[in-house]
Amino acid sequence: MKVTGAEIFCESLRHEGVKTVFGLPGGVVLKIFDVLCQRKDIDLVLTRHEQGAAHMAEGYAKATGKAGVVLVTSGPGMTNIVTGLADAYMDSVPLVAFTGQVSTDLIGNDAFQEADNVGISRPCTKHNVLVKNVNDLAQIIKEAFYIACSGRPGPVLVDIPKDVSTAKAEFKYPDKVNLRGYNPTVGGNKNQIKQAAEEIMKAKKPIVYVGGGAVFSDAADEIRELAEITQIPVTMTLMGLGSFPGTHPLSLGMLGMHGAYCTNMAMHHADLLIAVGARFDDRVTGKLSEFCPEARVVHIDIDPTSIKKTFHAHIPIVGDVKAVLRQLNVILRSMDGNPAQIKAARAPWIEQIRDWQKAHPLTYKQDDKTIKPQYVIERLYDLTKHEAIVSTDVGQHQMFAAQYFKGSQSRTWLTSGGLGTMGFGFPAAIGAQIAYPERQVLCITSEGSFQMNLQEMVVASERKLPVKIVLLNNGVHGMVRQWQDLFYEGRYSASLLGKMPDFVKLAEAYGILGLRALTPSEVEPVLQAGLGHKGPVLMDIHTDPYENCYPMIPAGGAQHEMMLEDPPELKLAKKGGGHKRKLDEGEGVLPA
């Protein structure tokens, strides 16, 4: 029996195990939405903006490891998800985006709501296809999911013209993909792995540097095993957080631009760097010519282009991180069996790192009048018993969260790393909450980022999703303001947000509980009330607008040359009263 393209679409999703689709309807996808609403097995989450749909799907995918699915219309529907696609591409998030397209006979005619979806998305997708014939639809969908989720994951866009969704074809879901040009390497080269093991046994000052690849490969157990049998300290990139418990004695937390002092010093002095699913991003390396000057480099990554792209690798291993680490751990265990011996051999290195840690721990000055953002994150970390799924936006609050919220599990840390997309955090939290209705999901955000996608509060409200929005409201684009203070002589060009909405009233307008904390003593009660509330909550916490995030490697600086506190001239400016905030509600920050 022949069925329509729209029915083929829905059936294909069912075969792929898709339960949730994030999207928004429009002219050319009406047929698909019509079929979708008659089915009970797929839940359509109606977002209020397509960008929200894309980020929700990302949050869903990051939290579950399964592909997030987006369904939007042609033209503006598609262009609105471009940011989400680019974000997913940078952070290797498996996403399958279905976009509507005008009928095939109208393509190229500048038809109403026509855009070159495939052309626009080409540089920000792993793969994309225009479906020209309904008979190809099922095969293309099968391949889209396969490509999105295998190898180095990424977004795939499938463009479905209106007439393809209404045309009829026999439906049979293919059982295999037919992609002769796509065959990611999984198992690593045995010789290379053996060499890596030898390097590890020889090294005096080794360090494991874990990136987002470890999260997508579910390699947490293997990393832990590697660290424990070899007693090698582990540092994580922003994307890798959670893949090794932040509370583990061998954890050095995050490295890079805002990484801890001891972590970057350890990197700088290491004699062996074991890079696991990481890509030597500029926010990690700082000045490349002075990055890890003494280290031999073992680089494990499923994507061959990540290897030797920016930094050399002495022992490149192309393969799935989990599979390679398993092979590596087997060799390591057979090489040296005495844990006490290994521990003793590693002691001077660990001791050295501890000394750096003691010299300059992560710290901030508590204040009794203004709320320090770090304090809020610390309290939040304690109150949630370290178990929540945390989604963040982009900026200072993100870095504070990365420093002070020590995730213990993979897939509990959802953040926009590569693209640095403000507006990512809140929809991503909704996506994660939909995937895990029973778990506690926090969205740590700030007034700047939150306002970029706040319309999705409706989704949290109507679905009673208990997302806890912790809004660190300092009235400024904090990271921009920090750079302006440090490198632009304090000229706050467009970083002071001025007029601010009343976030509590805003939350209430959307049917969400709004709470506010203005002084440090109000933080704890507000957090407790918010976390204890059954439904969605927005906690508007007014934090110090002039708090800076340290340590900091200035852009282009070497990793061991960190700024640890405000430079003297900035301290002086702050003392002079230039930096004062008017705490009146809704007033934001007044310039000096």
Kindly list the catalytic residues: 50, 112-113, 162, 479
115 near another protein, rule: CB under 8 A: no
Select from 33-41, 61-69, 165-173, 310-318 the region that touches another protein (CB under 8 A): 310-318
Query: Which of 108/586 has CB closer to another protein?
Result: 108
Q: Which of residues 229-288 bind another protein (CB under 8 A)?
A: 288
We find the least distance from the C-beta atom of residue 290 to another protein, in angstroms, to be 9
Q: Does 192 bind another protein (CB under 8 A)?
A: yes
389-392 and 513-517 as β-strands: parallel, antiparallel, unpaired? unpaired
Distance CA 405, CA 332 (A): 32
Q: Per CB under 8 A, does 178 bind another protein?
A: no
Q: Compute the least distance from the CB of residue 227 to another protein, in Å.
A: 22
Nearer CB in complex with another protein: 257/295: 295
Which range in 240-248, 301-309, 354-362, 464-472 contacts another protein by CB under 8 A? 301-309
- Which of 119, 525, 567, 578 is the binder for another protein (CB under 8 A)? 119
Binding-site member from 76, 293, 361, 437 for another protein (CB under 8 A)? 293
Q: Is 296 in the site for another protein (CB under 8 A)?
A: yes
DSSP structure class, residue 255 = -
Using the rule CB under 8 A, which residue among 40, 176, 180, 491 binds another protein?
180
Residue 74, CA distances (Å) to 9, 69, 116 in order = 16, 16, 9
- Report the residue number, 283 or 312, with the smaller CB distance to another protein: 312
Cβ closer to another protein: 24 or 130?
Answer: 130
Q: By C-alpha distance, which of 84, 7, 80 is closest to 38?
A: 7
Tokens encoding 71: 């369904």
| Interacting residue with another protein among 179, 344, 494, 590 (CB under 8 A) | 179
Half-sphere exposure of 311 (CA within 13 A, CB side): 25
Tokens 């700088």 locate to: 268
CA angle 364, 500, 472 (to 5 degrees): 25
Three-state DSSP class for residue 496: strand
By CB under 8 A, the residues from 141 to 170 that bind another protein are: 147
Angle formed by the axes of helices 321-335 and 220-230, to 10°?
20
Q: Name residues contacting another protein, limited to 123-142 (CB under 8 A).
A: 123, 126-128, 130
Instruction: Select 45 or 315, whichever has its Cβ closest to another protein.
Output: 315
Decide: is 310 part of the binding site for another protein (CB under 8 A): yes
When binding is defined by CB under 8 A, the residue of 34, 76, 122, 569 that contacts another protein is 122
Cβ contact 272:203 at 8 Å? yes
Q: Smallest gap, in angstroms, from Cβ of residue 295 to another protein?
A: 6
Binding status of residue 424 toward another protein by CB under 8 A: no
Cβ nearer to another protein, comparing 129 with 526: 129
- Considering the complex, what minimum distance in angstroms separates the CB of residue 319 from another protein? 10
Residues 311-340 that bind another protein (CB under 8 A): 311-312, 314, 316, 318
With contacts defined by CB under 8 A, name the span among 120-128, 222-230, 491-499, 527-535 that binds another protein.
Answer: 120-128
- For 358-410, the DSSP string reads HHS-S-----SSSB-HHHHHHHHHHHTTT--EEEE-SSHHHHHHHHH----ST
Q: What are phi and psi of 15, to 5 degrees?
A: -65, -30
117 vs 410 by CB, closer to another protein: 117
Beta strand pairing status for 2-4 and 168-170? antiparallel
Closest CB to another protein among residues 303, 565: 303
Distance between CA 400 and CA 479 in Å, rounded? 11
Nearest-Å Rg of the Cα atoms of the chain is 25
**Which of residues 44, 106, 111, 118 is near another protein by CB under 8 A?**
118
Whole-angstrom distance, CA of residue 79 vs CA of residue 283: 28
**Distance in Å, CB of 293 to another protein, minimum:** 5
Residue 126, classified by CB atoms within 10 Å of its CB into exposed (0-12), middle (13-18) or buried (19+), is buried
One of 196, 197, 215, 307 touching another protein (CB under 8 A): 307
Q: What is the 8-class DSSP label of residue 337?
A: -
Classify burial at 297, counting beta carbons within 10 Å of its beta carbon; exposed 0-12, middle 13-18, buried 19 or more. buried
90 is an interface residue for another protein by CB under 8 A = no
Give the single-character DSSP code of 38.
T
Name the residues that contact another protein, by CB under 8 A. 118-119, 122-123, 126-128, 130, 147, 179-183, 189, 192, 288-289, 291-297, 303-305, 307-312, 314, 316, 318
